[in-house]
Amino acid sequence: LRGECWYCKEEGHPWFRCPTKPDWWTPWNQSQKGNGGKQPHGGANMVADPAEETSKDDRGMGNEERNAGQFYHVCDKDDSGTAVARAGEELHPLDMWVMDSGAAWTMTPRKDLLDAVRAPPISEVRSASGHAVKVAGVGRAAFRAPDGGLVVLKDVLLVPGLKANLISLRKLGQAGVSTTTNGSKTFKGLRGDRVLWDLHESRDVFRSMWQIPALIWESTKKELGEVKAGSGVQGECNAVSAAGVTVSARSGETDWETAHRRLGHVAMPLLQQLHKEEAVKGLKLSGQPNDTKCETCLLSKFTRFPFHGVAGKSKAALELVHMDLVGPFPVRGSKGERYFLTIVDDWSRLMWAYPLKQKDHAASTIRDDWLPFVERQSGHPCKSIRTDRGGEFLGGDLTAWLKKQGIEHQLTTSYTPQSNGVAERANRTILETARALLIESGLGNSMWPHAVRHATVARNRVLTKVADDMWVPLERWLGKKPPVDMLRVFGCMAVAHVPKPYRTKLGASALWCVHLGLAAESKGWLLWEPSKNVLFDSRDVKFVENIMYGKWEKQPEARVTQQLEEITMHFDLSEPADSEVTAPTASGTDEGSNEDIAADAEVNDPEQQQQEASKTPSLPKRRKQIGGGTKDWVKVKEWVNPTIYPARTRMATRKLLSSTSEGATTEQQEQAQGEDAVLFLGDDQESDDEEPAYCFYAPIQPPSMDHALAGPQRGKWLVSRDAEYNSQMENHTWDLVYLPNGKKAIQCKWLAKIKTDEKGEPSVYKSRLVAKGFQQKEKEDYKEVFAPTAKSPTLRVLLAVAAVRKWKVKQMDIVTAFLYGIVEEEVYMVQPPGYEDGTGRVCKLNKAIYGLKQAPRCWYNRLASALEGIGFRASACDESLFLMGEGESLVLLLVYVDDILLFSSSDKEIDGVQRKLTEQFKCKSLGEARYYLGMHIERDTERGWLKLHQGQYINTLAEKYSLQEEREVVTPLPSEFKLIKAAEGEGVESEDQRQFQSMVGSLLYAAVHTRPDISFAVGQLARVVQNPTEEQCGAAERVVRYLKSYPTVGVQYSASAQLSQKGIEVLKEKGEQLGEGKVFLSCFADATWASEHEDSSSVGGYICMVGGGPVSWRSKKQSETALSSVESEYMAMFHAAKEIIWLRRLLKEIGHEQTCATPLFSDSKGAIAMARNAVLHGLNKHMRIKWHWLRKEVKLGTLDPIYVKTQQQPADFLTKRLAEEPHWRCARMAGMSLN
């Protein structure tokens, strides 16, 4: 060693003491003496010799000499194109990398440590003794950093003759790697804030050299991904150009795929533009964008064709705010959330999402949580709020408060959710993103509130397109670029630090958990610990962004082999990091069951029906859950700061979060999901310009007159109220008297209602004085209260006859009808508010003011008396029907409270009646009947048909239950549906039960008026309203979806098709003349024997037809158990015969007497034989005598039982669940309009 220096070729000194050596060759313990133990400045960073100084007894070779004998030194190229190396005398383990401060190249003799080996840049290396070793190639190698990530070394020489794997600290220094030491105890390598190695003398030193375990390249391929030779590592690592080392994303750069996932699966074009324009801080991306479609995006995003319209024109923040409610979700969130409130600022398009438990929490969330926060943040007052007509936005408290604050409340047009386009688009964006997050993460659907929150946070930091402009919503709101470097992939696995007070001395200092987004109440991340089902937040977290919870749960052995990312949070304290989704702490059953679905009910007021239904929360979506379910959440320890979301509610984009599995059958998907669950590929270009093509705004209905007078239309309401008061005075409604002793005056109040035109614009501001009738005492303040109203079959019979006879049908109503009724009892009422005279007198009522219990009866008596006075007579079949004249001069008047329909063959007769009524009452003529009690009347007089349907009501129903966007179904019930009553305690929760009852009640209104095709389904559901199951709730939803699929299907009447071919043949056999204008009645009866699984009961049904369409129908579980199918069919014919008798009398009254027996069709020859004669005595002798009344009517010639094949039996769909083809065949035969 004291011979010739191999570096300068001079003798007398060793190479490491050569005066011409470069600075970076200075031995560590020499530099320590002159530099206080610190690394020398200038040149490359040096590696320190960790060994203690050699004993002075070893004078032959100092510590520096002993170290030098163990290095391979590879110098830069000489003139011959070779490198020079000195080979030590001692071998090092070839499964370790030796840290060499003198090596100009990193090299290894092991080919299995390398990847992408190619031709080397030099041909050979030489040892210090001059021995030349051939270089076989150059490639890449890797070692693992302390945090579990990988460090990739580039340009590593493959030198088969070497006896050690050498890492060139010089090369690392060129790559920006610095080294630090702590005496001879530790040696650490850093690149920025990233620790590449952290070596300790006790474990990382062999033969006085620092060593790092080597990795066989094949074992790292799965982590690093397949890459091209010479390129940087894709996925979680990124190459550093020409620097010789590759480090993971923690160096500050992120690959495109990870950024795409961190930002909630944002569209790649938006991510590219976000990066190009540097629209946010902390978004450092390496490599090129990946054009490959993200599988999660493919499975979660599809769009319908948009409503293109005009973008928002707000000039400042909070000038206009869009709001909507989404839900109920099929699975409750961890805190019981069922809905979320979406709020969008029109100017910035910043979004907020508030998960809520109940719908009625929306008002308090807006009033107490959101508005004060955003107004203070933005410095702008909120001027206008735009919502749909959901009950949560029409509540009295919210309405009054908004008006008090001077905030305009704009309403969208009914039945057009697109009118609230910005909020609807925000709902879609949030739901699509949340769905993608849940699908990718593998988390159960109970985590949807966290996915919604993370989606909102991410989308507020993504470029949003508005008309022809694009901006980042949060940047526009704050006035500066928002950071994104705190975002991490939702649902990825993470390791969180456990504070010392909450772990034992031997316990683990960290625990595995799942990332659920940014914490709402602290500067950290929200985490879920699956094993204990605990939510907490922490800032000391390491993330494994390429391993999601679903994969981790299935393959726990993969947990410890994945890279971890150590993060330091960088929050801008002036930024509302949690403003998008702030998380403040949130602030009787119908005993009867209607098993009988009959169309002979009285015509109900659809407005009242809708108002009552709107008071009940909407039915939750029942879906088969894909993924984990809701578990019991344990109380979190004190160091945990759980996120608590406010309660909330609503629906109507209201697309529901759901997912579907690839292996699910079509029928399973149909039951389990709505339209949103079907996964399609669509364009993910973000755009908020989906305003409606046209939109009209209607003001909210005032909850009281006080609220109306406190609003901007005070003048109009005062005029309206004065007009109503003057009307009361003109009608001499009361006399002012002093209250007699022993009497009590009931209270009264003013109601305010805005009537709108067909565009939703206000047309009339209507005030009405109403008595508080609930304060009345029976037998003292009132006696009789019953007042007849029109029966639904009566209405349909008259419309059917009008279609056949081509009658005129006109409509009118009576203004302030109840005020014409005379009060017979002595009733006292206080003076109307605002019109007191100060004398203390009260009103002794002369007329039946609205609200009195006897008011409807008083009005009916007054109207009946007036009609009798002008020549009308009440029908014996329906007291709401009045008749005058005969033959061509016949006039029919059907009344429902103050709504009147007039039927006659000539306009002259009708006009005459209207004139006479106008002489006694204040009337309004509405012309040809088009819309009566919630039913549309469509007519083509030239073709001779009339159609009755409830399209508007059905659309309202679908919107109310958030089903207007659901996928269509072709039958009311699924093929596998079976009605099985739940045992006590096994049904749904009470809230869901009330929602189910509301839905069934709404369906009943359609079933008894225009939709016999759902009668069986609704009858089945009505029998379990007291304790429905999840499946039955889903079945009710399906019936609404079925109606929504065909909203304008109804009943249709025509002169040309009023009889089936079978009916025509029967009447011809009887010698009947089938001329024009003849009205015929026919009936079909059917039963399904022992179809009820619990008690073997049968279901019977009938459908009576006039004018080729159904006028009366019924589907009912039979009250007695039939012992055979013949008995059940016989009982069905019995009930049909009763309806035939009533209809024949009604037709006779209106001038269309049935001159022959009415055909009663049945597909049971045995039942027909029993009806004709006392045959089969042994089979029916046990039956009650009442059933055999049917034989009497047959003998009298009232009806004629006739056999028809099952394929020609339309009543079949009233008694059983049918598949698509037979269901629609029955509908066609029953005279339903299918266009």
The DSSP letter of residue 232 is: P
Q: What's the pLDDT score for residue 302?
A: 60
Q: Is the pLDDT of residue 86 over 80?
A: no
Q: What's the pLDDT score for residue 585?
A: 30
Classify residue 709 by burial, with Cβ atoms within 10 Å: 0-12, 13-18, 19+: middle
DSSP H/E element including 948:
strand 945-949
Tens of pLDDT, residues 296-351: 787 777 655 554 444 457 888 899 999 999 988 878 887 788 899 999 999 999 99
Q: Is the pLDDT of residue 599 over 70?
A: no
The distance in angstroms from the start CA to the end CA of the chain is 104
Tokens standing for residue 303: 């769009």
Angle in degrees, CA 1105, 1108, 1114, rounded to 5:
30
- Mean pLDDT over residues 898-907, rounded? 91
Average pLDDT, the chain: 74
Looking up tokens 């359609």 gives 1006
Q: What's the pLDDT score for residue 598?
A: 65
Tens of pLDDT, residues 232-282: 332 233 333 333 454 443 345 677 878 888 888 888 888 888 888 888 887
Q: Is the pLDDT of residue 151 over 90?
A: no
Tens of pLDDT, residues 12-24: 776 556 676 544 3
Cβ atoms 527, 477 nearer than 8 A: no
- Mean pLDDT over residues 505-526, rounded? 84
The DSSP letter of residue 848 is: -
Tokens standing for residue 529: 């610990």
Query: What residue ranges do the domains of the chain occupy?
Result: 15-251, 298-583+636-677, 705-876+904-913, 1055-1233
Q: Is the pLDDT of residue 713 over 60?
A: yes
The residues, ordered by sequence, that sit 6+ positions from 912 with a Cβ below 8 Å of its Cβ are: none
Looking up tokens 């699984």 gives 1093
Architecture of the domain defined by 1055-1233: 2-Layer Sandwich (3.30)
Residue type, 191: R
- Mean pLDDT over residues 574-593, rounded? 33
Q: Is the pLDDT of residue 1146 over 90?
A: yes
- Mean pLDDT over residues 651-656, rounded? 30
Out of 43-52, 95-104, 303-312, 931-940, which region has the weakest mean confidence (pLDDT)? 43-52
Helices (DSSP H) in 940-1079: which residue ranges?
951-960, 990-1007, 1015-1022, 1030-1045, 1061-1069
Cβ atoms 103, 167 nearer than 8 A: yes
Q: Which residues pair with 749 in a beta bridge?
A: 770
Tens of pLDDT, residues 621-632: 333 322 333 222
Classify residue 593 by burial, with Cβ atoms within 10 Å: 0-12, 13-18, 19+: middle
Cβ atoms 770, 850 nearer than 8 A: yes
- Mean pLDDT over residues 589-612, rounded? 49
Asked, as a colleague might, if the bond just before 328 is cis with ω within 30 of 0, I would say yes
Q: What's the pLDDT score for residue 849?
A: 86
The residues, ordered by sequence, that sit 6+ positions from 1088 with a Cβ below 8 Å of its Cβ are: 1098, 1099, 1128, 1215, 1216
- Mean pLDDT over residues 919-932, rounded? 89
From residue 251, give the alpha-carbon distance in Å to each of 22, 136, 979.
30, 32, 62
Q: What's the pLDDT score for residue 488?
A: 92
Tell me the range of 67-76, 215-224, 928-937, 1071-1080 where mean pLDDT is highest.
928-937
Tens of pLDDT, residues 400-430: 888 888 999 888 766 555 667 888 888 889 9
Q: State the pLDDT confidence band at 74, using cuts at 50, 70 and 90.
A: very low
Q: Beta strand 881-884 with 891-896: parallel, antiparallel or unpaired?
A: antiparallel
Tens of pLDDT, residues 977-1023: 877 777 776 777 777 888 888 999 999 999 999 999 999 999 989 98
Nearest CA-CA partner of 755 in 744, 747, 767:
767
Q: What's the pLDDT score for residue 683?
A: 29
What DSSP assignment string belongs to 239-287? Answer: E-TTSSEEEEGGGS-EEHHHHHHHTTS--HHHHHHHHHTT-SBS--EES
- Mean pLDDT over residues 472-500, rounded? 89
Cβ atoms 892, 1150 nearer than 8 A: yes
Residue 179, classed as helix, strand or coil, is strand
Classify residue 78 by burial, with Cβ atoms within 10 Å: 0-12, 13-18, 19+: exposed
Cβ atoms 1005, 987 nearer than 8 A: no
Q: What's the pLDDT score for residue 292?
A: 58
Query: What angle do the packed helices 990-1007 and 1030-1045 form, to 10 degrees?
Result: 30
Q: How far apart are CA 1109 and CA 1050, in angstroms?
A: 10
More confident residue, 1170 or 67: 1170
298-583+636-677 and 1055-1233, same CATH topology = yes
Q: State the pLDDT confidence band at 1158, using cuts at 50, 70 and 90.
A: very high
Tell me the range of 203-217, 323-337, 437-451, 1131-1145 where mean pLDDT is highest.
1131-1145
* CATH code given to domain 298-583+636-677: 3.30.420.10
Percent of the chain whose pLDDT exceeds 90: 24
Q: Tell me the residue length of the chain.
A: 1235
Q: How far apart are CA 410 and CA 761, in angstroms?
A: 11
Q: How far apart are CA 647 and CA 650, in angstroms?
A: 11
Q: Is the pLDDT of residue 1160 over 60?
A: yes
Q: What's the pLDDT score for residue 270?
A: 84
- Mean pLDDT over residues 343-365, rounded? 90
Q: How far apart are CA 988 and CA 982, in angstroms?
A: 9
Q: State the pLDDT confidence band at 786, using cuts at 50, 70 and 90.
A: confident
Q: What's the pLDDT score for residue 738?
A: 94
Q: What's the pLDDT score for residue 1075?
A: 61
Query: What angle do the packed helices 448-459 and 421-441 form, to 10 degrees?
Result: 120
Q: Is the pLDDT of residue 672 over 60?
A: no
Cβ atoms 339, 324 nearer than 8 A: no
Q: Is the pLDDT of residue 44 over 80?
A: no
Q: What's the pLDDT score for residue 288?
A: 67
Out of 150-154, 184-188, 613-617, 777-781, which region has the weakest mean confidence (pLDDT)? 613-617
Q: How far apart are CA 325 and CA 454, in angstroms?
A: 18
Q: Is the pLDDT of residue 294 over 80?
A: no
> From the centroid of its chain, how far is CA 856?
43
Q: What's the pLDDT score for residue 966?
A: 81
Q: Which residues pair with 768 in a beta bridge?
A: 751
Tokens standing for residue 957: 């129903």
Q: Is the pLDDT of residue 803 over 50?
A: yes
Q: Which residues pair with 891 in a beta bridge?
A: 884, 904
Q: State the pLDDT confidence band at 554, using cuts at 50, 70 and 90.
A: low
The residues, ordered by sequence, that sit 6+ positions from 872 with a Cβ below 8 Å of its Cβ are: 882, 883, 884, 891, 893
E strands present in 854-940: 873-874, 881-884, 891-896, 899-904, 923-928, 931-932, 935-940
- Mean pLDDT over residues 1077-1090, rounded? 87
Out of 24-28, 1172-1176, 1188-1192, which region has the weakest mean confidence (pLDDT)? 24-28
Residue type, 796: R
From residue 624, give the alpha-carbon distance in Å to each of 673, 726, 1043.
7, 60, 22
